[in-house]
Structure 1
Amino acid sequence: MTPSFAFPCFLLIVALFQFTAFSSSSEQPAVVCHRDERLALKQFKESFIIDKHACAGSYPKVDSWGSEGVDCCSWDGVECDQMTGVVIGLDLSGACLYGSINSSSTLFRLLHLQKLNLAHNHFNHSAIPSALGNLSMLTYLNLSSSVLSGQIPSEISKLYRLSSLDLSSVDVSSPVPSVLANFSSLKTLYLDGCGLQGMFPLATFQLPRLETISLSDNSNLTGYLPEFNSSNQLKFLAIWHTGFSGELPASIGNLNSMEYLELGSCSFRGLVPSTLGNLPNLKFLDLSINFFRGSVPATLGNLTRLNYLDLQGNQYFTGFIPPELANLTKLTHLDLQQNKLQGSVPSSIRGLQKLEYFNCDYNRLGDILDVDTFLELKNLQNLFLSWNHFYLVSRNNSNSTGAQLVDIGLRDCHLREFPYFLRNQRRLQLLDLSSNNIEDQIPHWMSKVSVETLSFLDLSNNSLTGFDDFPVVLPWSKLQFLKLDSNSLQGSLPVPPLSTVFYTISNNSLSGEIPHQLRSASSLFVLDISQNNFSGNIPLCLSNSSKYLSVLKLRSNNLQGPIPSGWSSGNRLRMIDLGRNKLQGRIPKSLMECRMLEHLDLGNNRIRDAFPSWLGSLPELNILILSSNAFYGTIGDPTSSNLAVFPKLRVIDLSHNRFNGTLPSGYFEKWISMASLDGKNSQAAYMDEISDMLINALQVSRSYSYSMTITNKGTEMQYPKIIRTLAAIDFSCNSFEGEIPESIGNLKELQLLNFSNNNLVGGIPKAIANLNNLETLGLSRNELEGRIPLELSSQLNFLEVLNLSYNHLTGLIPQGQQFETFESSSFEGNPGLCGKPLLRECITNSGSLPTPSSEESGSLGGLDWKVILLGYGCGFLFGTLIGHVVIKKKPACFLNTVSKTPATRQRS
């Protein structure tokens, strides 16, 4: 090798050496987790159960923790400082942790933690650990949806470096600590759904770096919005469903960075400041369900970046829809429902080409409106125009193309025919054309509209007469909710598709037998075919085919034969209403299989049977109506036999039968639901489960409720939803004898009590005065004697209807309180009674009383039988009639009863 060659080689070797040395020096030394922190993490893991059912779609991150030879800095969810190796971040969100956490946890030995995320675990209602204050380096803390509870500890004030705090869906149930207003580094604050109480610290809104504050769904949290200055950095403000109130300050227009403003479901009032139109970056604005008044500010048309605008539920909003809203060309959602807006929908609405959702239900909008205008909005999916004063028209243009809608609500829009544009709709899921003036048959082309997507169809309250060439089974394969009631439909019953869960076709003129094809409708929860002209027997399939059926209403038809005997075990029936038919025979014992049954109405049939005391073992039975049949015999006494006691019964109607024997005093002692209807027994509605199922299935707020007709305060009317606090007994028009037992006084929640038209003797028991919720009392047409207890006048403060006529009562009619509101018809037919309101004065100097006048003795006197029928003679509960009813027939039991409606008195 020559020297000339050796020197360059030497230089090359040196260069390679230097490069290698440089490369090695630039690499960071391997980071190793500190032994004490590794042990703390391992012990933290071992303090919990790994519950994979609570992972919320995630996975158990700590499963790999503790493997031999594996550095903890490489464990899932663990972040270490690259220079020192200390643990600075821990992300265990959705890590399937189950168990308690407290201040002794080894977690709080990780003193260098800067980020801690324990969201979406289950800490078994542990208190928020006060030892969080030890982690003074924290800048990020997320404990949301982690099943923690209790107050936010005061030690959190030590976390002065916090930039982000998320405690949403943690059960705090206490006021917001005022120390939050001292967190000068805070940028994001999430406290949604925490059960916060009291006044929110006003100064928190003024934190210099705060960009996001979300306090939604804290209904007991109060507060108001402060004055804002232009230096405020807020971008996101959500206080939906809180108790914030007051007026919106005009300075809200200074929030130049604001992008998301959600103020719905609060108690704000006053005018909406026009300065809201000064927020150039606003994309989301929700002012719904408040008490704003006046006009919708035209300046909202300046919010050209806005894509969501919700003004619904401000019933003091008046005036017109501002045409300036047409400037919001990026708007996708516009909700104006439940206000008092007037005028028409501006034609400029067609300029909102990105609009997907438009709702102006429940306003005072009017004028002739061409619904085809909305079809020009190519992106429109949801259109709701119901409950206004529109006269909708639709052009008959077979070439019309445009928006393919998903939901259409055109209820009460004065439609006279099916809108032509529906022919071209292929994606409909919801169609509501109810309460219009649509006549004739449902056209054949409707059978081809959205057959693979339609899930909700409401055509009720029209004048439809039938289906034009439809198949026996309706064609919409995914239909779940079908409402055809209150039309003029004729012919046989249309069979719903397999998918249907809710089917009502009541109040029509359908006839023939109930088709056995209903056997295939195995998904039904609700079936209501009442008030038609169906005949024949009730198909056995209705008692045993559907494992989901909860409501079965067949009332007011011409059904004959026996009640089906094949009620299957494990069924979910809660309501069976077979009233007002021509059913015969006995009540089948298989009804015992309906263990969830709450409401049973067999009234107004031809059933001949003894009292079905065995129904008393049904644990949920609330309402039992057996009126106007041919039941006979005694009721029995559960205290002297092994009869079941109807543990939840609160309404029973046995009127117009042939029962005899004494009143069932033992039952009066056992019917605890009539004795105490406190919060534990009181529920708002019968069909919560069905309502929830329907809402989940259809994503619409539709529900079905039980109903019952009850004669209340002299007028028959239907209660569309029976609240669980109603308690009533009607044993009128039978042959009960003996005395009224004192045990009736146990049923302190009774509002309606009728023993009229029986053979009861003895005096009116003072115990009735214990029924201080009583509104109606009927004891007429018996053999009662003695004085009217003074306690009735002094203690029955809510009594509005009283009928004691045609007995053998004597003495002075008590005065005062409600008794001064009753008319003479409440007391006539008792020759020994005297005093107001009768014309007969009491004679105090002798034991004799004046002879009754001719119009007070004998039978009906001069009273009109129509007036009598409005009163409480026989039958408080009829369970058959819809709406307000004038009875045209003269039942003998009624004609033997006198009652008159008094002036009503409202509860104070």
Structure 2
Amino acid sequence: MASSQKQASMLFLACVLLMLTQEMHCLASSQSPSLVAFAGPSNQTTNEEREALLTWKSELDSQSHCTLSSWNGTNPCSWHGIDCDPPGSIVSLNLLDFAIHGTLRHLNFSLLPHLVTLKLANNSLFGNIPPSMALLAKLTHLDLSQNNFSGNIPTQLGSLRSLQVLELSHNNFNGPIPSEIGSLSNLTGLFLSANNLSGFIPREIGRLKSLNYLKLMNNRITGPVPSSIGNMSSLIEMRLCNNQLVGAIPKEIGMLGSLIELDLSSNYLNGYIPKTLGNLSNLVVFYLYQNQLSGPIPLEVGGMRSLICFRLPLNDLTGPIPSSIGKLSNLNYVSLRMNKLSGPIPSSIGNLSNLNVLRLFKNKLSGPIPSSMGNLCNLKTLQLNFNELSGPIPSSIGNLSNLKTLRLNTNELSGLIPSSIGNLSNLKTLWLNINELSGPIPSSIGNLSNLNLLDLYENELSGPIPSSIGNLSNLQYLSLDTNELSGLSSYP
């Protein structure tokens, strides 16, 4: 009885399995095209992608063939530098630093419709960017930097509406920046530096409201900085240095509240520094050096509370250093050298306790060196030379224990050299020449064991040369002439 029941159960299971097999066969034969596509890419698509890459490889040089030796077989998803999505379509071609030599002329982009990332940086690729690259409708990252590409940037790239990063720097591209780039509404990074680009910055660039990084430095770009840049509300870093830009700095830059780095240096910009730049409370780096800017440094710069690097040298700036600079407590580096600034050094500069470098030389600054400068305990470089400073060297300068370079030469300083100068144990160069300093050289100067240059030339110093100078074992240059010193023969 038990045996017959077992046979009946097995027969029932066999019938169920037969019915399921027939049903699955019918389902497969009637399956819709969309379901087939979901199951995986067609063999035709895979073959087209593979053949597109193999055709390109065949046109590269022999060394590139060796580098891409893994590019063989029927499954491109296993090739080096290739990534595929789950269905098996190629979505990434990343050949960064592969020493590939050749062009993109034979790469059929129309056969790579799913490509999201194309990174070919730091190779030896040359020639033009094919306009057919615009067919990569899903592309989000394009990096062709550090190659030898030339010609114009194709206007067709403006149709890559999914693009987030466009990196073409360090090539030989020429001609203008195409205005069509303004259509790339999802772009977060635009990197075109170190090319031969010319023409104006297109005003359409102001449409890029998602852009975080704009780097156009080291080109031959001319014309003004467009005021439309003020619309780029997400901008974090803007570097337009080393171009041929002219005209005034647009006041609209003051609307870029997220800006952290602003570099407009080494251009031909003129006019005043806009007061609106004081609104940039998140700005950390501010470079306007080597332009033709004139007028005063606006008091409003005191609003740049996050500023660390402040560089305005080699302009035609006039008027005083604003006392509001003392509010910038994060400042690490200040250079206002080689302008026409006048008036006293504000005592508020002593508030900048994080300052490492202060360069104010070659201006028309007058009045005394403020004693508050002795508060700058982290200062390593202090250059106040070639001004019209007067009065004594404050004894508080001896508090600058980290100082390595002290240049006070070519001023109208008078009085004694303070003995506290001997406290500057890290000092390597001391320039006090061409002033009106008087009295003896303090013996404490012999404590400067790291000193390799001491220039006291052309002052009114008198008395004997202290024997302690003989302790300066690292001294390589010493100038004491044109003074009224005695005891030269006693100097070791």
Question: What is the TM-score when the length of structure 2 is the normalising length?
Answer: 0.74
Indicate if the aligned counterparts of 2:212 and 2:237 stay in contact, CA closer than 8 A.
yes
2:96 alignment partner in structure 1: 360
1:562 alignment partner in structure 2: 296
1:164 alignment partner in structure 2: none
Indicate if the aligned counterparts of 2:322 and 2:346 stay in contact, CA closer than 8 A.
no
What secondary structure is seen at the aligned counterpart in 2 of 1:566?
helix
What secondary structure is seen at the aligned counterpart in 1 of 2:193?
coil
Work out which of the residue numbers 468, 479, 488 in structure 2 matches 1:804.
Answer: 479
Work out which of the residue numbers 492, 515, 524 in structure 1 matches 2:224.
Answer: 492
Indicate if the aligned counterparts of 1:443 and 1:467 stay in contact, CA closer than 8 A.
no
Work out which of the residue numbers 54, 64, 77 in structure 2 matches 1:330.
Answer: 77
Distance between the aligned counterparts of 2:479 and 2:417, measured in 1?
A: 14
Pairwise CA distance, 1:511: 1.5
Aligned-residue identity in percent: 29
User: Compared with structure 1, are the counterparts of its residues 791 and 813 closer, same or farther at alpha carbon in structure 2 (3 Å cutoff)?
Assistant: closer
Distance between the aligned counterparts of 2:122 and 2:424, measured in 1?
A: 43
Higher mean alpha-carbon deviation, 647-656 vs 744-753, is at: 744-753
Alignment partner of 1:741 is 2:470: no
After superposition, what is the alpha-carbon deviation per residue over 1:163-184, rounded to whole angstroms, capped at 9, x for unaligned?
Answer: xxxxxxxxxxxxxxxxxxxxxx
Pairwise CA distance, 1:542: 0.5
Alignment partner of 1:659 is 2:392: no
Indicate if the aligned counterparts of 1:506 and 1:528 stay in contact, CA closer than 8 A.
yes
2:311 alignment partner in structure 1: 577
User: Compared with structure 1, are the counterparts of its residues 812 and 514 closer, same or farther at alpha carbon in structure 2 (3 Å cutoff)?
Assistant: same
Alignment partner of 1:460 is 2:193: yes
Distance between the aligned counterparts of 1:741 and 1:783, measured in 2?
A: 15
Letter in 1 for 2:257: S
Pairwise CA distance, 1:664: 2.3
Letter in 1 for 2:69: P
After superposition, what is the alpha-carbon deviation per residue over 1:490-531, rounded to whole angstroms, capped at 9, x for unaligned?
Answer: 211134311111001112221222112213222111111122
What secondary structure is seen at the aligned counterpart in 2 of 1:632?
strand
Distance between the aligned counterparts of 1:794 and 1:596, measured in 2?
A: 35
1:634 alignment partner in structure 2: 368
Indicate if the aligned counterparts of 1:434 and 1:461 stay in contact, CA closer than 8 A.
yes
Aligned 1:588-737 pairs, distance under 5 A = 588-637=322-371, 645-668=375-398, 670-674=399-403, 727-737=404-414
What secondary structure is seen at the aligned counterpart in 1 of 2:252?
helix
1:523 alignment partner in structure 2: 258
Indicate if the aligned counterparts of 2:179 and 2:203 stay in contact, CA closer than 8 A.
no
Pairwise CA distance, 1:379: 4.5
User: Compared with structure 1, are the counterparts of its residues 358 and 757 closer, same or farther at alpha carbon in structure 2 (3 Å cutoff)?
Assistant: same
Distance between the aligned counterparts of 2:333 and 2:78, measured in 1?
A: 48
Distance between the aligned counterparts of 2:249 and 2:472, measured in 1?
A: 54
Distance between the aligned counterparts of 2:127 and 2:490, measured in 1?
A: 65
User: Compared with structure 1, are the counterparts of its residues 645 and 331 closer, same or farther at alpha carbon in structure 2 (3 Å cutoff)?
Assistant: same
Aligned 1:800-879 pairs, distance under 5 A = 802=477, 804=479, 806-807=481-482, 810-811=488-489
Pairwise CA distance, 1:487: 1.6
User: Compared with structure 1, are the counterparts of its residues 783 and 387 closer, same or farther at alpha carbon in structure 2 (3 Å cutoff)?
Assistant: farther
Aligned 1:75-474 pairs, distance under 5 A = 320-327=66-73, 329-331=76-78, 334=81, 354=90, 356-361=92-97, 364-370=99-105, 372=107, 376-397=111-132, 401-402=135-136, 404-420=138-154, 422-448=157-183, 451-467=184-200, 470-471=202-203, 474=206
Distance between the aligned counterparts of 2:313 and 2:106, measured in 1?
A: 43
Work out which of the residue numbers 765, 774, 795 in structure 1 matches 2:473.
Answer: 795
Indicate if the aligned counterparts of 1:472 and 1:494 stay in contact, CA closer than 8 A.
no
Greater C-alpha Rg: 1
Distance between the aligned counterparts of 1:592 and 1:637, measured in 2?
A: 14
User: Compared with structure 1, are the counterparts of its residues 803 and 441 closer, same or farther at alpha carbon in structure 2 (3 Å cutoff)?
Assistant: farther
Letter in 1 for 2:318: Q
Pairwise CA distance, 1:589: 2.2
Distance between the aligned counterparts of 2:113 and 2:432, measured in 1?
A: 66
After superposition, what is the alpha-carbon deviation per residue over 1:768-821, rounded to whole angstroms, capped at 9, x for unaligned?
Answer: 45444445544444455755857657632xx6x62527445733875xxxxxxx
Pairwise CA distance, 1:370: 4.1
Pairwise CA distance, 1:406: 2.3
Letter in 2 for 1:485: M
Letter in 1 for 2:343: D
Distance between the aligned counterparts of 1:437 and 1:466, measured in 2?
A: 15
Letter in 1 for 2:190: L
User: Compared with structure 1, are the counterparts of its residues 321 and 629 closer, same or farther at alpha carbon in structure 2 (3 Å cutoff)?
Assistant: same
Distance between the aligned counterparts of 2:439 and 2:107, measured in 1?
A: 74
Distance between the aligned counterparts of 1:323 and 1:769, measured in 2?
A: 68
CA RMSD of aligned residues (A): 3.4
Greater relative CO (CA pairs within 8 A, separation 6+): 2
Indicate if the aligned counterparts of 1:527 and 1:551 stay in contact, CA closer than 8 A.
yes
Distance between the aligned counterparts of 2:466 and 2:109, measured in 1?
A: 70
Unaligned runs of 5+ in 1: 1-317, 336-351, 675-726, 815-908
After superposition, what is the alpha-carbon deviation per residue over 1:603-662, rounded to whole angstroms, capped at 9, x for unaligned?
Answer: 222221123222102332332221111111222546xxxx77223322221011011233
Letter in 1 for 2:67: I
Aligned 1:18-33 pairs, distance under 5 A = none
Letter in 2 for 1:746: N
User: Compared with structure 1, are the counterparts of its residues 379 and 467 closer, same or farther at alpha carbon in structure 2 (3 Å cutoff)?
Assistant: same
Pairwise CA distance, 1:483: 0.9
Indicate if the aligned counterparts of 2:445 and 2:468 stay in contact, CA closer than 8 A.
no
Question: What is the TM-score when the length of structure 1 is the normalising length?
Answer: 0.42
What secondary structure is seen at the aligned counterpart in 1 of 2:148?
coil
Alignment partner of 1:476 is 2:208: yes
User: Compared with structure 1, are the counterparts of its residues 751 and 376 closer, same or farther at alpha carbon in structure 2 (3 Å cutoff)?
Assistant: farther
Unaligned runs of 5+ in 2: 1-63, 83-87
After superposition, what is the alpha-carbon deviation per residue over 1:298-329, rounded to whole angstroms, capped at 9, x for unaligned?
Answer: xxxxxxxxxxxxxxxxxxxx994151354573
User: Compared with structure 1, are the counterparts of its residues 637 and 562 closer, same or farther at alpha carbon in structure 2 (3 Å cutoff)?
Assistant: closer
What secondary structure is seen at the aligned counterpart in 2 of 1:745?
helix
Distance between the aligned counterparts of 1:506 and 1:569, measured in 2?
A: 23
User: Compared with structure 1, are the counterparts of its residues 607 and 570 closer, same or farther at alpha carbon in structure 2 (3 Å cutoff)?
Assistant: closer
Letter in 2 for 1:663: I
Distance between the aligned counterparts of 1:741 and 1:645, measured in 2?
A: 16
Indicate if the aligned counterparts of 1:458 and 1:482 stay in contact, CA closer than 8 A.
yes
What secondary structure is seen at the aligned counterpart in 2 of 1:659?
strand
Distance between the aligned counterparts of 1:637 and 1:471, measured in 2?
A: 49
After superposition, what is the alpha-carbon deviation per residue over 1:83-121, rounded to whole angstroms, capped at 9, x for unaligned?
Answer: xxxxxxxxxxxxxxxxxxxxxxxxxxxxxxxxxxxxxxx
Q: How many residues align?
A: 415
User: Compared with structure 1, are the counterparts of its residues 321 and 618 closer, same or farther at alpha carbon in structure 2 (3 Å cutoff)?
Assistant: same
Distance between the aligned counterparts of 2:402 and 2:415, measured in 1?
A: 25
